C-alpha cells in the first residue's frame, strides 16, 4: 500500500523496503558490526590478502533477480570487510594513506542519506562545503575573497590549479582557441615533485616535456638559483614560462621546498605559484619545527591538499584554494540554458560549484570534513600531526642506533627511509633484494605495512605515518621486527 492508503501498482513501486522494520534491524546490526571493526582495528592484522576463492566469487555477471539484503550484508562481512587495504591499522605505514575516523564514518552515513548533488543550487550541503573552504582559507592564510573547491584528491586538484594558472597567465581566450598559436608554455617543479603535476600538463596538452625538473639539494629541496636560471633560459629561447610548483612534503622523503624563495622568483618573472601540499600542507597545524615547512604557503596563487591524508578523513576528499576567485571562475564557468541561475527557489544559491571545476554532479564530500573538524577541532588534529612527526623522528633515532640498519636520509616531517644492512659484506644489489624481501614478509604476515622507494638509486624501506592510531611504541616494534626478519633471511637467526 502507498502512504495514502491506496493500492500501489507495478508502475508506482519504488526501491524502498517493503518492511522498514526489517530494514532497520539489518541496518542497526551492520552499524554495530562496522563500529566493532573500527574499535578492534589495532588487534587485527595490518593487511590480509584476498583469498583466491573470494576473488573467484567476486567475478561474474550482474544478477538479474535481486537478493535479500541480509544475504548481501553477509557477503560483505565475509568477503570484503576482512580484506581492506589495512590503512586503519596503527602499523600501516605504506605510501601516504590516511586512516579515516569514527566521526567521519557517521558523516558518510549522513551524506549518503541526503544524497546531495553539490554541483550547485540552494541547499544545505553547498553551505557546508563553503564553510569547509573558508576554514581552509583561514588556516592557510589566504586572503579574504579567495575561492576553493573540494575534489577527489590532490591529483584532480592539481589539474584544476594548473588549468587556472594557464588562464591566469595566458588568458581565458585559450578555452576556445586552444594552444594552436603562441609560444610554448613551460612549468617548473622540483625533481622530487609528484607525478600528478606531469599528468596534469599532459592532460592539458602542454606536454610532459615542458615540465622542467629543477635539481634538488642534499635535503631534497628545489634549488632556487637553478629555477631562476632555467626560467631565464626558456625566456631567451622564446618560450613562455607560466607556472612554478613548490612542494611541501615530497612523497619520497617529506622534503620541503623553500616556498618563499620560489614565490620571490615567481614575482620576479610574473609566474603563477602553485603549491603541492598533498599531505605536507597540514604541518601548518603542527608544532615547530614542523610548522616551518609551510612558511610562505600563504603566498601561493593556488594550493592543493588532501583532507583524506593527514586530516584523517575518510576517502576521498581533496581541495584546491585559489587566491584570485575571478581567475578561478574564468577557467571553468560554463552555464547552458538548462542551468540558468535564479534569485529564488532551488536554482538560486549562487555561486555554483560547477563553475569552479570539472564536475556538475558532485557528492557531499564536505560533510565528513565538517564532522571531523567540528568534533576533534584543529588543536587536537594538529597534535596528531605533530605526534606523527615525533614518531618518524623516533624511528630515525632507533635506526641510527642499530648496527643492522642504515638511515637513508634524515627523517622529514612524517617519513623515515632506511634499509637493513646486517653484518656487512653485501653489495647494493644484494641489499636491494634483501630489503624488498623484508618488506614483503612483514606485509604478508600482517605485522605492518611499509612501502618502498629508492634513495640515491638504492632500495629503501619507507615509513610514512598519517595515522592517528600509531603510537611511539609501534616504532620500536617495527624496528625490532625488521631486524628479526632481516637476520632470518640472512641466515643469522
Q: Is residue 271 a contact partner of residue 242, using CB atoms and an 8 Å limit?
A: yes
Asked if residue 239 and residue 156 are part of one domain, the reply reads yes
68, 84, 100 — which closes off a domain?
84
Strand partners, 461: 418, 452
Number of structural domains in the chain: 3
Closest CA to 463 of 477, 448, 473: 448
185-190 and 211-214 as β-strands: parallel, antiparallel, unpaired?
Answer: parallel
Asked if residue 434 and residue 311 are part of one domain, the reply reads no
- Cα 369 to Cα 112, 142, 315, distances in angstroms: 14, 19, 10
What does the DSSP 8-state code read for residue 285?
Answer: G
Grid cell for residue 91: 602499523
Q: Is residue 467 a contact partner of residue 450, using CB atoms and an 8 Å limit?
A: no
Asked if residue 215 and residue 186 are part of one domain, the reply reads yes
Asked if residue 71 and residue 163 are part of one domain, the reply reads no
Confirm whether 96 is domain-assigned.
no
Distance between CA atoms of 383 and 220, rounded to whole angstroms?
26
Q: Residue 142's pLDDT is what?
A: 98
Distance between CA atoms of 400 and 398, rounded to whole angstroms?
5
Asked if residue 166 and residue 70 are part of one domain, the reply reads no
Asked if residue 409 and residue 442 are part of one domain, the reply reads yes
Confirm whether 447 is domain-assigned.
yes
CA 378 to centroid of chain Cα atoms: 18
The CATH number of the domain where 389 resides is what?
Answer: 3.90.1150.170
Asked if residue 396 and residue 463 are part of one domain, the reply reads yes
Q: Residue 1's pLDDT is what?
A: 54
Confirm whether 1 is domain-assigned.
no
Q: Which residue has the cell 584554494?
A: 321
**Whole-model pTM above 0.85?**
yes
Asked if residue 293 and residue 240 are part of one domain, the reply reads yes
Task: Give me the domain span that covers residue 77.
Answer: 18-84
Q: Residue 8's pLDDT is what?
A: 62
Asked if residue 284 and residue 230 are part of one domain, the reply reads yes
Q: Residue 321's pLDDT is what?
A: 98
Asked if residue 232 and residue 151 are part of one domain, the reply reads yes
Grid cell for residue 82: 576482512
Q: How large is the angle between the packed helices 224-236 and 259-269, nearest 10 degrees?
A: 20
Q: Is residue 86 a contact partner of residue 349, using CB atoms and an 8 Å limit?
A: no
Closest CA to 154 of 207, 210, 98: 98
Confirm whether 32 is domain-assigned.
yes
Confirm whether 5 is domain-assigned.
no
Strand partners, 417: 409, 462
Asked if residue 182 and residue 307 are part of one domain, the reply reads yes
> Strand order of the sheet with strand 405-412?
405-412, 415-420, 458-464, 451-455
Asked if residue 411 and residue 264 are part of one domain, the reply reads no
147-151 and 318-322 as β-strands: parallel, antiparallel, unpaired?
Answer: antiparallel
pLDDT tens-place string over residues 396-408:
999 999 999 999 9
Residues of the chain short of pLDDT 70, as ranges, are 1-8, 181, 493
Q: Which long-range contacts (CB under 8 A, 24 or more apart) does 35-40 make?
A: 35/102, 37/81, 38/88, 38/102, 38/105
Closest CA to 150 of 384, 346, 311, 326: 311
Amino acid at each position: 500500500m502507498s502512504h495514502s492508503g491506496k493500492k500501489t501498482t507495478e508502475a508506482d513501486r519504488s526501491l524502498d523496503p517493503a518492511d522498514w522494520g526489517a530494514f532497520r534491524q539489518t541496518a542497526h546490526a551492520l552499524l554495530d558490526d562496522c563500529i566493532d571493526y573500527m574499535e578492534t582495528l589495532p588487534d587485527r592484522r595490518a593487511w590480509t590478502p584476498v583469498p583466491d576463492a573470494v576473488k573467484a566469487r567476486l567475478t561474474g555477471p550482474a544478477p538479474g533477480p535481486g537478493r535479500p539484503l541480509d544475504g548481501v550484508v553477509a557477503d560483505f562481512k565475509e568477503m570484503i570487510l576482512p580484506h581492506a587495504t589495512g590503512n586503519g591499522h596503527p602499523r600501516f605505514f605504506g605510501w601516504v594513506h590516511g586512516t579515516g575516523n569514527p566521526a567521519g564514518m557517521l558523516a558518510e552515513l549522513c551524506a549518503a542519506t541526503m544524497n546531495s548533488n553539490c554541483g550547485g543550487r540552494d541547499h544545505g550541503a553547498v553551505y557546508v562545503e563553503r564553510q569547509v573552504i573558508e576554514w581552509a582559507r583561514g588556516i592557510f592564510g589566504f586572503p579574504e575573497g579567495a575561492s576553493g573547491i573540494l575534489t577527489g584528491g590532490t591529483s584532480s586538484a592539481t589539474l584544476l590549479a594548473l588549468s587556472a594558472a594557464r588562464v591566469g597567465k595566458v588568458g581565458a581566450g585559450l578555452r576556445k582557441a586552444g594552444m594552436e598559436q603562441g609560444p610554448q608554455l613551460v612549468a617548473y617543479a622540483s625533481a622530487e615533485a609528484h607525478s600528478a603535476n606531469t599528468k596534469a600538463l599532459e592532460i592539458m596538452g602542454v606536454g610532459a616535456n615542458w615540465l622542467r625538473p629543477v635539481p634538488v639539494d642534499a635535503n631534497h629541496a628545489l634549488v632556487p638559483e637553478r629555477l631562476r636560471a632555467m626560467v631565464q633560459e626558456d625566456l631567451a629561447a622564446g618560450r613562455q614560462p607560466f607556472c612554478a610548483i613548490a612542494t611541501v612534503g615530497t612523497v619520497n622523503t617529506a622534503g620541503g621546498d623553500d616556498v618563499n624563495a620560489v614565490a620571490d622568483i615567481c614575482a620576479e618573472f610574473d609566474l603563477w605559484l602553485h603549491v603541492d601540499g598533498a599531505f605536507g600542507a597540514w604541518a601548518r597545524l603542527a608544532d615547530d619545527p614542523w610548522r616551518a615547512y609551510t612558511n610562505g604557503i600563504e603566498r601561493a596563487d593556488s594550493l592543493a591538499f588532501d583532507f583524506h591524508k593527514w586530516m584523517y578523513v575518510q576517502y576521498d576528499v581533496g581541495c584546491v584554494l585559489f587566491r584570485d576567485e575571478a581567475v578561478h571562475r574564468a577557467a571553468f564557468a560554463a552555464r547552458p540554458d538548462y542551468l540558468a541561475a535564479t534569485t529564488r527557489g532551488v536554482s538560486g544559491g549562487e555561486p555554483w560549484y560547477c563553475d569552479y571545476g570539472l564536475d556538475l554532479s558532485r557528492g557531499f564530500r564536505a560533510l565528513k570534513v565538517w564532522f571531523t573538524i567540528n568534533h576533534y577541532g584543529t588543536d587536537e588534529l594538529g597534535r596528531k600531526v605533530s605526534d606523527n612527526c615525533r614518531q618518524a623522528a623516533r624511528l630515525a633515532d632507533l635506526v641510527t642506533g642499530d648496527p643492522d640498519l642504515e638511515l637513508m636520509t634524515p627523517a622529514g616531517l612524517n617519513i623515515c627511509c632506511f634499509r637493513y644492512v646486517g653484518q656487512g659484506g653485501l653489495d647494493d644489489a644484494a641489499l636491494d633484494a634483501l630489503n624488498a624481501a623484508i618488506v614483503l614478509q612483514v606485509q604478508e604476515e600482517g605485522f605492518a605495512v611499509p612501502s618502498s622507494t629508492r634513495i640515491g638509486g638504492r632500495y629503501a624501506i619507507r615509513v610514512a605515518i598519517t595515522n592517528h592510531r600509531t603510537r611511539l611504541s609501534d616504532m620500536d616494534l617495527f624496528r625490532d621486527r625488521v631486524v628479526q626478519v632481516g637476520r632470518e633471511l640472512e641466515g643469522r637467526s
